Each structure stands twice: as structure tokens, then as C-alpha cells.
Structure 1
């Protein structure tokens, strides 16, 4: 027995792909903005963060601030690419989200709640960018003649 796909199932798959991609783009934009704000806080005012003694991955808080600021700025650019359905943005989005997870894990003792929130955001970003079927993703963003 062969399976046939009805036009309704195809349209649903396209809508799902577009929705998940938009979700990933918005989440990456939010996580990147949080990283930018965290970077600015660490650069401008070190006493906002908790100082932890004898931490293996201890850096100067200004260094952590610059790391988060750069990751956030790159993430904003990648999220703009995701809104335009660029293939490079999907790959870069997964990479940036992974780097955000690592950076927030390593700076966990300095600002634990914020780090856990951004780690969770980044996990959802990776899921959203990897869960979409490639064919459905590209057909969701193709303009049909009747959509004009």
C-alpha cells in the first residue's frame, strides 16, 4: 500500500515549517538580545554579578562581557538571516546557539538564573532549526503565483 499526500497535508507541513522557522528566528533574536544586555552589564558594571572564588573557568567579568556581547551581535545578524529563510542562517543559528550554551554554562556561577534562561532558549533554538524538514522548509518560503 502506498501513501499519498493530500494537498491539505502538504499545506499543513508548509505552515508547520514556516512556523517553526519563525519560532527559531524569534527565539534566537531574544537570546541574542539577552546576551547583548548581559555583555553590556558585565562591561559597564562588574558588581552586578556574583564573584566566585576558585572557579576553574574564571575570567575577568569584562572578558565575559565582551564574549557575550560579540555572540549576541552575531546572533542578531543570524536571526535576521533566518527571517529571510537563508540556508546559511540555519547552520549558523545552530552554531551560535551551541556557543551560547557553552558560554552561559561556563559563566553560570556569575549569574545563574540568567544563564539557565539563555541555555533553555538556546536549546529551543537548536530544536527549532533542526526539526524542520528541509523540503517543507524551502517550499514554505516559495511564493506561489496565487499568493501575490
Structure 2
């Protein structure tokens, strides 16, 4: 009877051993979520620009912009987010920090857009927070382990 021992692959490179499987897999998932979030933002933007009567505001709200303005904001941010998500999936170095910045901006803007789409806004905020966590905790793809 032979005994087999499982050999663990040895991680090499900067920051190796500093990441968990959750964070590494989370980075790929974050890239996918950014692409999906970006496409959804593009679609939201197109709808808000084309038809001012699709979204209705619930009550008075401090951050009241016209729906056309919100449409352009969602469209522009959606394009940037989708491109950044693709960059993360492609392994681009610039995409990780850009993803954190854009996800943070998206969380803030979705909060401001809550009266127009409360359920999707909360879901989008949760997605943004996960993306920020996943990109901030994955040290596998960084040249500086201190990041």
C-alpha cells in the first residue's frame, strides 16, 4: 500500500503566499461583475437619455438631476467600468486600481440614484463593495506586496 502525499504548488513572484483563494478567484469574478455592471450602466444610460418617463423618482431627494443628466452619467461610467472589467480579465496592471476607483464612484452614484431604482441601486452598491474588496485584497497581481 503506497501513501500519496499531496504536493502543494509553490507560489513564486512578488506577493506570493499573501493571497487567499477567495481573493484570487474574487478578482476574476470582480472583472466579470465589472463588465456586467458596465453593460447594465450603458443600458440604464441609454434608457434614461431616450425616455424621460421610464424612471420615476420616489419622493423628494437632495440629489435631483434631470434623467437625461443621469443617463449621460450612467452611460459614460458604464463604458469606463466595462472597459476596466475587460482589463482586469485580461490581466492589465492599470485595471486593478482603476477598478477600485470606478467601483467606489459607482457605489456613490448608485446611492445618489436610489430614488429612481431602489432595488437595483442596493444590488449595485453590494456588487461595487464586493469588487472593491476583491481588487483590494488580491495581492497576487501586484508588483508591490505592500498594496
Scaled by the length of structure 2, the TM-score of the pair is: 0.79
Any conservation in 1 of the 2:59–2:115 contact (CA below 8 Å)? no
Alignment deviations for residues 12-57 of structure 1 (CA, whole Å, 9 cap, x no partner): x689354222111001111111111111111111212113453211
Any conservation in 2 of the 1:34–1:118 contact (CA below 8 Å)? no
Matched, 1:137 2:126: no
Pairwise CA RMSD: 2.5
Partner residue of 1:143? none
Matched, 1:27 2:68: no
Structure 2: which 5+ runs fail to align?
Answer: 1-5, 12-16
SS in 2 for 1:118: helix
Structure 1's consecutive aligned runs of 4 or more residues displaced over 6 angstroms after TM superposition are none
Scaled by the length of structure 1, the TM-score of the pair is: 0.78
Of Structure 1 and Structure 2, which has the larger fraction of its residues in helix? Answer: 1
Structure 1: which 5+ runs fail to align?
Answer: 1-5, 140-148
